Structure 1
Amino acid sequence: MDSVLLFKCLADETRLRSLLLIQRESELCVCELTTALNESQPKISRHLAQLRSCGLLQDRREGIWVFYQLHPDLPRWVVELIDLLAREHETYLQPNLANLKNMGERPQRRRTCCPA
């Protein structure tokens, strides 16, 4: 992975927060991220597409819903960098994590946010 491209991808606050939330939760769908970040679906989807094109995320479809997770083939140094950012930015993510928590736990959240 090209380090300049990586840092360009992470230079946007929405992309950084999205990546760190996905890293923390293992997998999130677009609707969970729109609630967590209090942003519109088109904006979140655009930023997720950029993270995917940078090679940081992969997606999985479940019906009409798209779920994102860290790409499993990331170089070790990228995974370590993301882990370090997540640890160092715990308070940075607190408002977003509180928004996710208000949605309920994952099974309840998925039923509310991503009905089949």
Structure 2
Amino acid sequence: MPLAVLSALAEPTRLAAMQILADGSEHCVCELMKRLDATQSRMSRHMQTLKQAGLVTDRRDAQWVRYRLNPNLAPDTRAILEAVMAAAGTEERAAA
């Protein structure tokens, strides 16, 4: 599991999507597309990878799919996610 999680988070678009979902709300794939400047097919592939890694859950809403952070993450998986997102935030601040 940790390898799948780290692999899923290693791609910048997927990591950015997780940072958006970290607010605890559901987000439509259409919103993620706009915020991350990604096509629908590309964003859907990324979200499928995150879902397969167990990081997100989804819910169909008419023609769109809504995603949110998996509320049932194992404690070790949550710790990995938080550490990776904190490190990414540190890198962004250092680059600014």
Using the size of structure 1 for normalisation, the TM-score is 0.68
Confirm or deny that 1:17 pairs with 2:13.
Answer: no
Amino acid at match of 2:61: E
Aligned-pair distance for 1:65? 1.7
Q: How far apart, in 2, do the equivalents of 1:73 and 1:30 lie?
A: 21
Say which SS state the counterpart of residue 66 (structure 1) adopts.
strand
Q: Residue by residue, what CA displacement relative to the aligned partner does 1:2-61 show, whole Å, maximum 9, x if unpaired?
A: 111111111100111011111125221111001100111111111001101111111011
Range 47-56 or range 79-88, more displaced:
79-88
Structural RMSD (CA): 2.2
Confirm or deny that 1:61 pairs with 2:60.
Answer: yes
Q: Residue by residue, what CA displacement relative to the aligned partner does 1:80-107 show, whole Å, maximum 9, x if unpaired?
A: 33344445545878xxxxxxxxxxxxxx
CA contact (8 A) 1:24 1:86 kept: no
Using the size of structure 2 for normalisation, the TM-score is 0.81
Amino acid at match of 1:67: R
Q: How far apart, in 1, do the equivalents of 2:40 and 2:79 lie?
A: 29
Q: Name stretches of at least 5 consecutive residues in structure 1 with no aligned partner.
A: 94-116
CA contact (8 A) 1:20 1:82 kept: no
- Give % identity: 33
Confirm or deny that 1:36 pairs with 2:35.
Answer: yes
Q: Could you list the structure 1 runs, at least 4 aligned residues long, displaced by more than 4 angstroms after superposition.
A: 84-93
What is the count of residue pairs matched by the alignment? 93
